[in-house]
Structure 1
Amino acid sequence: MATDSEVRRLADREQLTSTTIRYMVGNLEWSGPVFQAMTLFVSSVFDPYGGSGNTIVLFLAFAHLAFVPFYLRGYGPLARGGWWTIGYPVQALLINALLMAMSEPGTFGESILCVPGCNYSAPMWLFLAYYPWPWGRLVRWRRAAEAAALAGYFSYFLLLAYVNNGGLARAHVVSAAVSAMWLSVGFILGMAISKMCMAAAEKQIEVQQQNFAEFFDFLHSHVKSGIASIRADVADPPRVHEKLDELEVAVSNYRIELLLTREQVPLAALLSERIRTFSGVLRIASTPRVGPASVGRPIGVLVGRALGDLLSNSAKYGATAVDIACDLTRSRILIEVADDGPGLPEGVLDDESRSLNHLRGAARSLGGELTARPGADGTGTVMQLDVPLQSKRTSS
């Protein structure tokens, strides 16, 4: 028997994964009535029902499909949770009883392959296997309870066969056993999904803890140490300003790293953070307005890197002011940085030891290009990055 610590650990794991599992159930539960409708449709064709039984079973199949839109919107019993979950097993038991009642007397369970509509409750067993266990410390008996419920369903099939046939023969027992085995297959698949959910949730928690540790280290190594340095130099205003600039750059760079972890990078925030880093070094004469536009992570990484390299080179080669422009269309993004410096050395883009050459290679790998030209009045330099938003990577 599990110890109290093991029980707590299992309960904690269930709690950690319950949100993920409920979300999955809410998105997958629609497949339950679809599967059940298919089971009823097959049963209406092949199973021997008396009178208008086959027509009624066919009607039930279409009725299940009518509920699919509600399940898709998250109105299924498992997605709702709580007492609604009882509706799933009650529905399965009632439908199986109804199929028995409509079967020709002496025919329920005569086939060793399956009793009529035996797979109807398979989705219930699949979802039950990985649905969050709701009763806290009783989690230690969960699998035992589920195994007992499966055995109880086997007994239920036997009871239905007994009622329909007025007794039990060996064929009825075999049919009920095979039917229970089919339900066990759904249950085993649910257990496999449960393991995957557990692993995915724990991996997500691990990543969150790692991100927390990295952020904690950043606060300690940059922010806290920066504040301590400022306090130490409080009597030296120039030194304080220098430390504040360093701290601002560190915070801005970290914010950029966080922005670039997203699948879709908000362009305005990325440009703003990168430009802010150079606001104390260069006079930013004009900045782009891009609104709520976002770009994919590879493009965001390139744009963030490009703007940093281009502004850094402007400052390196003697510029004092820059104009930054961004033109974003459905298919391309174009970044321009125009400075008032003396111009770039000739052939700098072809020099493999230069960062601009590496930047051009990164742009070309995404199907884009980096170019340089003199300013409109013949002074300064205009650097232009032109990259398609959707492109296949090419060799640089």
Structure 2
Amino acid sequence: MRRSTNVELLASTTEKLIRPFEAMALFLQAANLFSSAVNDRYSALGVRVVVVLGVLHLALAGLVLPHRGPLTRGRTWTAAWIAMIFVVQLLLARLLAPGDFAAYGTGVPMGNYALIPLGVFAFYPWGRHRRLIEVGLIVAVVAHPLVILALIHRWQLTGAHVRSVVMYAGWAVVWFLVGKGIAWLCRIAVRLETEALSASYTATLGDLHTHVESAIEEIEAGNDAREVAHRLRLLTAARRGQLLLRAGNVGAADLFKNAIRACGDRLRLVSGPQLGGLTVPREHAILLEQGLADLLKNVVVHGSGSAEVGFTMTDSDMTLDVRDFGPGLEPSRLDVSGSSLHQLRTTLRERGGDLRVLPPPPGGGAAVRVTVPIWSRR
């Protein structure tokens, strides 16, 4: 039987988010254990057992983050985690001193210990038996305190015991609904992300197939294949740049790679910057992308086709240096109205940045520096 769309969306989201959810649940369970060791009355041995259990839960939380958690490892691991919840509470009931059992008013020690995982269980897509499993878990968690109380008091339950269990059942439903709410928000996020991706594809790549087919026809008609490939490369680089610049923060390495790729074999990069995982805010990334594209195009057209590219960042500015090995560049070229470099300098200065020609480097050629402010200057 095919699962519903909501379950499919929830399943895809769960694979990404279930680790931190499970890790947080285990961390909160550990906090409950440490709190119980301080607030409840145990024998010396009981305190040591509770502390060891807390440390084990912390270790499990640390293991879940880099690795898959219980719910995504299969039925055996899931059953083991659920069993652990009930076993720990039964153990605590045996370790607590007489008369200290209902300290939290819920009828069980550390009632939240069993309630916390309900939020994760509600978030997880169980498949076609999901509703049955969820109801079974809620009933089991709610009935468990009754069993503990009955065993301790030899089935002599008072009205206070029943009221505390009813209160416990209410909190169980609350925790479960919290998990359902998170699942609902995740489904919305996945749907919006899918719609945004589809819109991005339509806006930036929807006509790419037409351009590819036109390029094939041009080559078949005898046009210069190298020139056709160059135009197609520029087009794909422009479309890729549009996709990159839709994000709020853009990977600097992706910007540089895209601009260099657009030049193809017409550009030889002698040296480039080490950018690592640096990201740039979108408004600054647009200026960097425009500056790098214009300067590399100038290297290909007017320089020797070889370039050194440098990039530095301070507290106030980002600096892009491009050096070629051609005949050089007169600073007056930047004043030629209508030229790409003049337009670039005008745009940069409007945003508080600048474009200037540096003194000729040793060995000849031209060196140009683009400065982009990190903070807008007024």
TM-score by length of 1: 0.74
Q: 1:326-365 alignment to 2 at 5 Å?
A: 326-329=309-312, 332-336=319-323, 340=327, 343=330, 348=335, 355-360=340-345, 362-363=347-348
Structure 2 counterparts to residues 166-185 of structure 1, below 5 A: 166=154, 167-185=156-174
- Whole-angstrom CA distance in 1 between matches of 2:168 and 2:34: 18
Distance 1:73 1:88 in 2: 18
The equivalent residue for 1:187 is 176
1:31 to 1:57, Cα distance in 2 relative to 1, 3 A? same
Pairing 1:385–2:374 present: no
Alignment-derived partner of residue 129 in structure 2? 138
Contact kept, 8 Å, 1:88 with 1:124, in 2: the verdict is: no
**Alpha carbons 2:26, 2:57 under 8 Å: kept:** yes
Q: State the SS of the aligned residue for 1:37.
A: helix
- Residues 42-121 of structure 1 mapped to structure 2, 5 A cutoff: 42-49=35-42, 52-74=45-67, 76-104=69-97, 108-109=101-102, 112-121=105-114
C-alpha contact 1:368 1:385 (8 A) present in aligned 2: no
Q: Using the TM superposition, give the Cα deviation of residue 204 of structure 1 relative to its aligned residue in structure 2, in angstroms.
A: 2.8
Which residue matches 1:250? 235
Distance in 2 separating the partners of 1:74 and 1:253? 38
Q: Counterpart of 1:192 in 2: which secondary structure?
A: helix
Q: What is the CA distance between 1:25 and its match in structure 2?
A: 1.9
Q: Are 2:149 and 1:164 aligned?
A: no
Deviations 1:288-322 (A, max 9, x none): 32276455345654343124334666899xx4756
**Residue 360 of structure 2 corresponds to residue 369 of structure 1:** no
1:207 alignment partner in structure 2: 196
Q: Residue 143 of structure 2 aligns with which residue?
A: 155
Residue 217 of structure 1 aligns to a residue whose secondary structure is coil
Letter of the 1:371 counterpart: R
Q: 1:274 to 1:307 in 2, by over 3 A?
A: farther
User: What amino acid is aligned across from residue 385 of structure 1 in structure 2?
Assistant: R
Summarize the Cα distance change of 1:212–1:313 in structure 2 as closer, same or farther, 3 Å threshold: closer
The corresponding residue for 1:394 is: 376
The percentage of counterpart residues that share the same residue type is 25
Kept in 2, the 8 Å contact 1:333–1:387? The answer is: yes
Which protein has the larger Cα radius of gyration, Structure 1 or Structure 2? 1
The alignment partner of 2:49 has SS state of: helix
Question: Is the counterpart of residue 269 in structure 1 residue 278 in structure 2?
Answer: no
The residue identity in structure 1 corresponding to 2:148 is L
- Equivalent-residue separation in structure 2 for 1:19 and 1:330 (angstroms): 38
Could you report, residue by residue, the CA deviation over 1:259-301 in whole angstroms, capped at 9, with x for unpaired residues? Answer: 6565343466334224339x4xxxx6x6432276455345654
CA offsets, 1:41-65, max 9 Å, x none?
3323333557854553344334433
SS of match in other structure, 1:29: helix
Q: Distance in 1 between matches of 2:162 and 2:287?
A: 67
SS of 1:117's equivalent in the other structure is coil
**Aligned twin of 1:3:** none
SS in 1 for 2:234: helix
Aligned match of 1:24: 17
Q: Distance in 1 between matches of 2:251 and 2:121?
A: 33
2:237–2:262 Cα contact (<8 Å) kept:
yes
Residues 1:289 and 2:280 are matched in the alignment: no
Deviation at 1:164, TM superposition (A): 0.9
Q: Secondary structure at the match of 1:334?
A: strand
Distance in 1 of aligned mates of 2:55 and 2:74: 25
- Secondary structure (helix, strand or coil) at the match of 1:83 reads helix
Count of equivalent residues: 366
1:85 positional shift:
0.9
How far does residue 162 in structure 1 lie from its aligned partner after superposition? 1.5
Q: Do the aligned residues in 1 keep the contact of 2:204 with 2:243 (CA within 8 Å)?
A: no
Post-superposition Cα deviations, 1:236-279, rounded to whole Å, max 9, x if no partner, equal: x56x77655533432343344456565343466334224339x4
1:105-126 CA deviation, whole Å, 9 max, x = no partner? 5664476355212111123111
Gaps of 5+ in 1: 1-6
Secondary structure, aligned partner of 1:112: coil
Name the CA shift for 1:40/1:65 in 2 (closer, same or farther; >3 Å): same
Structure 2 counterpart of 1:348, which letter? D
Q: 1-side partners of 2:359 and 2:39: how far apart?
A: 81
CA distance in 2, matches of 1:110, 1:271: 66
- Aligned AA (1:15): E
Distance 1:98 1:313, change over 3 A: closer
TM-score, with normalisation over the residues of structure 2? Answer: 0.77
Query: How far off its partner does 1:84 sit?
Result: 0.7
* Residue type at the aligned position of 1:80: R
Q: Residues 17 and 211 of structure 1: is their aligned pair in 2 closer, same or farther, counting only changes over 3 Å? A: farther
CA distance in 2, matches of 1:62, 1:82: 25
Q: Please, which runs of 5 or more residues in structure 2 have no aligned partner?
A: none
Of residues 304-313 and 19-28 in structure 1, the stretch that sits farther from structure 2 once superposed is: 304-313
Coordinate RMSD, CA, aligned? 4.0
1:294-309 counterparts in 2 under 5 A?
296-297=279-280, 301-309=286-294
